[in-house]
Amino acid sequence: MTQPFQWQGRTDGETQEHLRIHQVINKTSPAQFALIGFTSDEGVRRNKGRLGAKAGPNEIRRQLAGLPLHQPLAIRDAGNVSCDDGNLEAAQRRLSDEIVTILEANQKPIVLGGGHEVAFASFQGLFDFVEKQNTNKTIGIINFDAHFDLREASEATSGTPFLQSAKLCKQHQRPFNYLCLGIAEHGNTKVLFDTADKLGCQYIRDKALTSSQLAQARVQIQQFIDQVDHLYVTIDLDVFSAAIAPGVSAPAPRGISTETFDELFGVIKSSGKITVFDIAECNPEFDIDNHTSKLAAYLIYQYLF
């Protein structure tokens, strides 16, 4: 774990109506939520993407710090798990173990990436937690992403996390339930679509997430949610248009809007089944005026409140 982030920001007063996140984090025990960062872009490097996502977690924290509270919030910062030596697999294992610890404390992890290699660690943590409970509860993955991240490779990358997750499920004879929202046809090869179909994955293309088609998407999402007990929700920021999320490894020329996200996420959040939540691919190196880190903070805010 790295040195703790210094939470600070504008302070207008100390009474409840003035409070911002930086004034309450780490102040309430037990916490309901726990932030944990994954300072890694080793998976992006292996996947030949643009480096810089390693700095994402603390930049997201900076944008979260000043957001106002309209109701009490019990949240703590569990620090960062880093990948500084190129050993991504070991770093993923450390993060998944930390996630298990957070879940066992009856807290909800909010994982801050980093490259989307964070996803396998997040899923593995939830998977291990559920297995330890010995309850046969099922897990569903909902991934907001322009890409399937089902790539077959000789080592883990930011493009392999959900194929790794599928293999973990198969190894333990558990169902692999995966729904990807915002898939860009121009961003995925045919073999990736074939892999998704072979694994029984569900997906909705970005072009199908227009205002006139959202009702149909909501029905599909609700049906997916109804068949699982726990949800792991992951948001790769490249699912949004590059106009609002320029600071990512692979900017999207089309993408979805925040309005679309809000409507679909409302269905997911209202289920009460979200157990692990993460944000991936925030890359401050390529951001413009903090647009992408501010968007990441906004998405977390929608989850918290």
Among candidate residues 51, 60, 108, the one with its CA nearest the CA of residue 83:
51
Q: Please answer whether residues 279 and 235 qualify as being in contact, where contact means their C-beta atoms are separated by less than 8 angstroms.
A: yes
**145 annotated as ligand-binding:** yes
**147 annotated as ligand-binding:** yes
Give the type of residue at 272. Answer: G
Sheet strands (E) in 114-167: 139-144
DSSP state of 225: H
Residue 62 to residue 39: CA distance in whole angstroms: 15
Residue 65 to residue 303: CA distance in whole angstroms: 15
**116 annotated as ligand-binding:** yes
DSSP-derived 3-state class of residue 236: strand
Place of tokens 């984090």: 25
Locate all alpha helices (DSSP H) within the chain, ordered by sequence. Answer: 21-24, 42-46, 56-65, 88-104, 118-133, 161-171, 190-198, 214-226, 258-270, 291-304
Place of tokens 């089902």: 150
Give every CB contact of residue 43 below 8 A, 6+ residues apart in sequence: 88, 115, 116, 117, 156, 157, 158, 159, 160, 161
Residue 154 to residue 231: CA distance in whole angstroms: 28
**236 annotated as ligand-binding:** yes
Q: Please answer whether residues 62 and 299 qualify as being in contact, where contact means their C-beta atoms are separated by less than 8 angstroms.
A: no
Q: What residues form the annotated binding site for Mn(2+)?
A: 116, 145, 147, 149, 236, 238
